Amino acid sequence: MASRKLFALPALVRVTIARSARPFSVLNRPPPRYEGHVPLNAFERVTLAAGSAVMSLMNPRRGDLIAALGETTATPFFIYRLRDAMLSNPTGRRILRDRPRITSKTMSVTKLRALPENGVGRAYVSWLDREGVSPDTRNSVKYIDDEECAYVMQRYRECHDFYHALTGLPVFVEGEVALKAFEFANTLLPMTGLSVFAITRMKPAERIRFWNTYLPWAVSNGLKSKDIINVYWEEELERDVDDLRNELGIKRPPDLRDTRRSLREHKRIAREKRDMMGGLRAD
């Protein structure tokens, strides 16, 4: 019955079915859906995800691998969830309509420096200065098939530095892991969760600090706060940063650099005391 109906279809329909059924292979890659898009099949996707996960754990400075890990693990579900979070929010929808990009051209550092002292823009630029990075150090998305979701991933990536500015967490492994845990609780992107495995690279004292202070902070703030992907950063540059934190429902974590500095100071004083007392432990 069913087969008879299939053959009753006009010839044109049958041809279309046959063409779309041609298998995806290295030799027959579908055309890209947007500029820079690289369509992957399931096997390629899984291999790339596994490979980039292992390699980025060995070398956390490889931003390109972390980017590839983020893109290959974001589908099928997570990036759509994040896009839907944007589509449910008026500002998020506006971002998706305008599709703003954050580069050194659109975010001129000199203009940002002229902004009010405690504004978001100033916090961002002082964070850039302190960490010595630039808005242009972001890769473009290639492995996400849906064009709009690719933009969402791009937006998340470009806003990542604003999240640093907002939370004040630094770029070295400890701060990055804490921020990734926060992002995971907030955006549910698997890469941000997987990045938490980088704690295996941390010193025992850092690990204890992570478990006791930064992870609880990240989980509670990430879950309770609004979706940070829906912040139109370009429009918030002059806004008071504490004001924005309050609106989003984020509490600032203890400053990691200060903590480290004071701990180092503490150790140095202890060492000096020890030396003065002839090598006996004084702490």
Alpha-carbon distance 190 to 55, whole Å?
Answer: 17
- If you count them, how many residues does the chain have? 283
Alpha-carbon distance 163 to 248, whole Å?
Answer: 12
Nearer to another protein, 152 or 218 (CB): 152
Instruction: Work out which of 15, 36, 47, 84 binds another protein, going by CB under 8 A.
Output: 84
Instruction: Work out which of 15, 17, 58, 87 binds another protein, going by CB under 8 A.
Output: 87
Tokens 């051209």, located at residue:
105
Find out whether 94 and 232 touch, Cβ atoms under 8 Å.
Answer: yes
Residue 266 marked as a ligand binder: no
- Environment class of 112 (CB within 10 Å of its CB; exposed 0-12, middle 13-18, buried 19+): buried
Contacts of residues 231-234 at CB distance under 8 Å and 24 or more positions apart, as own/partner, are 231/91, 231/159, 231/162, 232/91, 232/94, 232/95, 232/100, 233/102, 233/120, 233/124, 233/159, 233/162, 234/100, 234/102, 234/106, 234/107
Alpha-carbon distance 57 to 195, whole Å?
Answer: 8
Tokens 């931003």, located at residue:
63
Q: How far is the CB of 2 from another protein (least distance, A)?
A: 4
Instruction: Work out which of 29, 93, 203, 261 binds another protein, going by CB under 8 A.
Output: 93
* By the rule CB under 8 A, 88 interacts with another protein: yes
* By the rule CB under 8 A, 227 interacts with another protein: no
Instruction: Work out which of 19, 61, 97, 281 binds another protein, going by CB under 8 A.
Output: 97
Residue 235 marked as a ligand binder: no
Size of the site for another protein (CB under 8 A): 13
Which x/- pattern, by CB under 8 A, does the window 34-73 give for another protein? Answer: ----------------------------------------
Q: How far is the CB of 75 from another protein (least distance, A)?
A: 15
Nearer to another protein, 148 or 255 (CB): 148
* By the rule CB under 8 A, 5 interacts with another protein: yes
Alpha-carbon distance 40 to 50, whole Å?
Answer: 14
Which x/- pattern, by CB under 8 A, does the window 117-156 give for another protein? Answer: ------------------------------xx--------
DSSP state of 119: B
Binding residues for Zn(2+): 160-161, 164, 176
Q: Which residues bind another protein (CB under 8 A)?
A: 1-2, 5, 13, 84, 87-88, 90, 93, 96-97, 147-148
Binding residues: 160-161, 164, 176
